[in-house]
Amino acid sequence: MKKLLMHRAAKPLVFVLCLLPFAWLFYAAAADQLGANPAEALIRGLGDWTLRFLCIVLAVTPLRVMTGTPALARFRRMLGLFVAFYALMHLLSYVAFDMGFEVAEIAKDIAKRPFILVGSLAGLLLALMAATSFNRAIKALGAARWRRLHQSVYVVAALAILHFYWMRAGKNNFSEVAVYGVILASLLGWRVWEALRKRRLSAQRPARTKVGNAAALQKR
């Protein structure tokens, strides 16, 4: 598995696989295969894939730790950029096909439907993380600031679920919302559990060190 993940063709292959949903949606829109309301189908399809890639990128670290496969980390940045890409395409599709680039109409729609504001905030955070995902940005911001900014992915996950929930509230259809909510809550819950476990272990080490030092002194 490590050899496969570290192969020079692995990243290009993952890149192509990540583009396939967008390619299919683009083709389906051009070939008029998105049903009676192609604009709505395109917007929602891109939104669904944004959520799916968000789940995938948040699953990288748990999988890496639980399977002992550190090579998975080399795909995390690219997958994160694809989350931002699909979110941007989702937003642009709404602005172009739903609103016709009419700024006044977009402002009215945001005031009338708060889930659009929530989705836009999530998109803005993703754009900031994408713009600072490179090594130069880490040096410019400093490791601590960069880490705090990229921990906003947890806020993005919460906003994304809220956006999806409010969007489906009008039709009283929450089955998909529940599925994504459980997945994201599990992935974020694992991080909380892992952080607490590490803190507990780090607190135990000094105590063990003191016991060991005391035993060594008694032997002397």
Question: How many residues appear in the chain?
Answer: 220
Query: What six digits make up the tokens of 213?
Result: 């030092």
Query: How far apart, in whole angstroms, are the C-alpha atoms of residue 156 and residue 120?
Result: 10
Where in the chain are the domains? 2-201
List phi, psi (to 5°) of 93: -65, -40
Residues 70-97 as b/e (b if ≥16 CB within 10 A, e otherwise) read eebeebbeebbbbbbbbbbbbbebbbeb
Please, are residues 43 and 90 in contact by the beta-carbon 8 Å criterion?
Answer: yes
The tens-digit pLDDT sequence of the chain (220 residues) is 778 888 899 999 999 999 999 999 999 998 999 988 999 999 999 999 999 999 999 999 999 999 999 999 999 999 999 999 999 999 999 999 989 999 999 988 888 888 999 999 999 999 999 999 998 998 898 989 999 999 999 999 999 999 999 988 877 888 999 999 999 999 999 998 998 988 888 888 765 554 454 444 344 4
Query: What six digits make up the tokens of 113?
Result: 């439907």
Residue at 6: amino acid letter:
M
pTM above 0.75, yes or no: yes
Beta strands (DSSP E) in the chain are none
Query: What six digits make up the tokens of 199?
Result: 């803190």
